[in-house]
């Protein structure tokens, strides 16, 4: 023959090495995916915080202009009340717990 001989022990050891390499590759891929998802969620949080601060500053600026220039009573109520209504609506939706109970048994809806 060609003089190349592989013992069963060497074959099992080679298969074990390949299995360990595959396992390490999968673990590093999962770790990289988790790190990328964490970075994306952090960027989303910063983006959301920036938009909230900008909108709050805009609302405060409009309210300050109306209050400083002594607008009428109805204008003052509208400028102070309308943002309060939006904030109350957002807080109520955020703090309301809703559940959707679905059952997979029997195929019924």
Q: Which tokens hold the place of 21?
A: 């390499």
- Please answer whether residues 66 and 79 qualify as being in contact, where contact means their C-beta atoms are separated by less than 8 angstroms: yes
User: Model-level pTM?
Assistant: 0.43
Task: Kindly give, in sequence order, each residue whose CB lies less than 8 Å from that of residue 66, ignoring residues fewer than 6 positions away.
Answer: 75, 76, 79
- Please answer whether residues 62 and 79 qualify as being in contact, where contact means their C-beta atoms are separated by less than 8 angstroms: yes
Is the pLDDT assigned to residue 2 strictly greater than 80? no
pLDDT-derived band at 72 (thresholds 50, 70, 90) equals confident
Cα–Cα distance list, 100 to 64, 70, 71 (Å): 43, 49, 47
Q: Is 15 or 3 the better-scoring residue by pLDDT?
A: 15
- CA 86-43-36 angle, to 5 degrees, is 140
Q: Is 107 or 44 the better-scoring residue by pLDDT?
A: 44
């Amino acid at each position: 023959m060609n003089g190349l001989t592989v013992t069963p022990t060497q074959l099992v050891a080679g298969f074990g090495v390949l299995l360990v390499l595959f396992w390490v590759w999968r673990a590093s891929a999962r770790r990289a995916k988790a790190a990328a998802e964490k970075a994306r969620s952090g960027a989303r949080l910063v983006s959301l915080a920036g938009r909230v601060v900008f909108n709050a500053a805009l609302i405060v600026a409009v309210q300050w202009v109306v209050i400083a220039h002594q607008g009428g009573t109805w204008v003052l109520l509208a400028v102070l009340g309308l943002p309060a209504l939006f904030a109350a609506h957002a807080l109520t939706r955020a703090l309301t717990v809703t559940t959707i109970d679905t059952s997979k048994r029997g195929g019924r809806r």
